[in-house]
Structure 1
Amino acid sequence: MEIIAVLGTGHMGAPIARRLLAGGHRVRVWNRSPARAGKLTTNGATVAATPGAAADGAGVAIVMLTDARAVEAVLFGPDGAAAALRPGAVVVQMSTVGPDEIRAVADRLPAGVSLLDAPVGGSVDAAETGTLRIFAGGSADAVANAAPLLRQLGSIRHCGPIGAGAAVKLVANTGLVTAVAGLHDALAVAAALGVDRQSALEILGGGPLAGAVKRVGASGSSFAVALAAKDARLALRLSTSPPMLKAALDLMQAAPDQDADLSSLVPPTS
């Protein structure tokens, strides 16, 4: 059985690794903070000291990191994973980065090593239950070859060539953050007009903001405000500066706790 390397075992990488281990795969993990990776040994993972050591001999390397800079360092920096991968290996890049950045990664991989652009929709709860939405960019053959593995993590939508998955993920996150910001404003209006919060949520939950109401009430989600703001800045840089997204970014940047989940933008009381 081939080795699967999981590079990055934070909020999302750790449950992904656990899903693969539960499916009977051999998993080797690496994380910048070794203690986080070390917790996965109880599930059967092997911990590597460097990204390169994790990727050495692996057939698949799953990358789940904070941003493009981290992806660059882990794949191509000192002791990076890319140089350790052998022909025939596949890098499944699940971090949220821009389409141009993911295409640049594809161009730099060693000969014979392929890339699947595969960011995900869903949070920790979806990663734990194998119900992520995987936005796949790459050739039809590459997606088909990776499908048996990816289906253990969730459903797959083939979005187009390399870069298309990254583009769709930014669209999805734009919808999420603007909807949450819209819910924030709707509840502020409700408070000003004397409409009690629960009634307002019930009304809003039956309308266009139903998804946002469900998201802020979810208990198994973890998407830090700072990361959501990072994605919004990336989408703004690549688009025509849509005003609602700019307003949502202002709200996120003003949040007092940047490490809190996105739902903290709509606090229990207002």
Structure 2
Amino acid sequence: MEKIAFLGLGRMGLPMARRLADAGYPLTVWNRSPGRAGDLTGAAAGAVRATEAATPAEAVRGADVVVTMLSDPEAVTELAGRFTADLAPGTLWIDMSSIGPRATAALHAGLPDGVALVDAPVMGSTGPAATGDLTVFAGGEDADLDRAQPVLEHLGRVRRCGGPGSGAALKVVVIGAIVASVTVLGEVLAVADELGVPQEQAREVLSAGPLAGVAARAFGTGSDFPVRLAAKDLALAGGGPVLAAAREVLLAHPEIAEEDLSAVPGALLRGR
């Protein structure tokens, strides 16, 4: 099995790295804040399943595949500057961060000779990350996608989107629609309150109609997608007026920045 370096052990990265360790891949991990490796390095379970590196460059040396899972384009760009020079020819870099096609193109431009990049952002929260039920939007050259496929299949259902940057682009489209729709639904519930429509009645009817999927996300529990990251993803979509307006609404409620997206309707209702 190919040796993997996994960089970024946040709320999504840690359970994803754990799945690769459980699959038996030789694994080296790194995180900006040390001490996140936990049971991967034996601290909790008593069995070492991964090696924790002190620096990104140390993590990727000797790796066949490098997986990055970070929060935004700035974090990925900064990290890339710390390890790309240490990538050996033949290395495959799979970036699973949600950074959009522009930042992905910049990563491609900075690759050393002989190094390939697959963009593979995901849909799903921490629960699906732990169970391998994420949706993976993968973009890249066919040969690179073929090589990435066995790794990605341990993390979720892989949808090949096309050439380099296409996975990053589709993620922006899908998440933009979801976040903006949940925000609009929150606004509609606030309007219902002003018009004297009982919240329970409004939610019931919205959940039974064409917006059932959006309502399920807006009213559901168990997901862990912070509002601040939802606002970041809307920014990746560019300057469309509807998406820009939804982003401004999210930024106007810093009190829920670390809460799941489902907190938006409640925040808008309280703000009326």
Using structure 2 for the length normalisation, give the TM-score. 0.90
Which runs of 4 or more aligned residues in structure 1 lie more than 6 Å from their structure 2 counterparts after TM superposition? Answer: none
Q: Distance in 1 between matches of 2:39 and 2:10?
A: 11
Q: Partner letter of residue 54 of structure 2?
A: A
Superposition deviation, residue 170 in structure 1: 0.7
Distance 1:83 1:157 in 2: 30
The structural deviation recorded for 1:98 is 2.5
User: What does 1:153-232 align with in structure 2 at a 5 Å threshold?
Assistant: 153-232=155-234
Give the Å deviation of 1:110: 1.4
Q: How far apart in 2 are the matches of 1:120 and 1:163?
A: 14
Q: Which residue, out of 96, 99, 106, partners 1:97?
A: 99
3-state SS, counterpart of residue 2 of structure 1:
coil
Contact 2:100–2:171 (8 Å) recurs in 1: no
Paired residues for 1:14-93 under 5 Å = 14-38=14-38, 40-42=40-42, 44-76=49-81, 80-93=82-95
For the 8 Å contact 1:136–1:156, the answer to whether it is kept is yes
Asked if the contact 1:38–1:47 (Cα under 8 Å) also holds between the matched residues in 2, the reply is no
1:39 CA displacement = 5.3
SS at match of 1:267: helix
In structure 2, the partner of 1:109 is 111
Deviations 1:135-187 (A, max 9, x none): 11111221122111111111111111111111111101110111111210221
Q: Secondary structure at the match of 1:74?
A: helix
How many residue pairs get aligned? The number is: 263
RMSD of aligned alpha carbons: 1.8
- The residue identity in structure 2 corresponding to 1:34 is P
Which of 230, 240, 244 matches 1:242? Answer: 240
Structure-2 residue corresponding to 1:126: 128
- Flag structure 1 segments of 5+ consecutive residues without an equivalent: none
Q: Secondary structure at the match of 1:222?
A: coil
Return the letter of the residue paired with 1:99: P
Percent same amino acid among aligned pairs?
Answer: 46
Matched to 1:51, the amino acid is P
Q: Which residue does the alignment assign to 2:138?
A: 136
> Which amino acid is 1:246 matched to?
A
Return the offset for 1:38.
4.2
Aligned to 2:263: 264
Three-state SS of the structure 2 residue aligned to 1:81 is helix
Partner Cα distance (1:58, 1:198) in 2:
54
Structure 2 gaps, min length 5: none
Letter aligned with residue 189 of structure 1: V
TM-score w.r.t. structure 1 length?
0.91
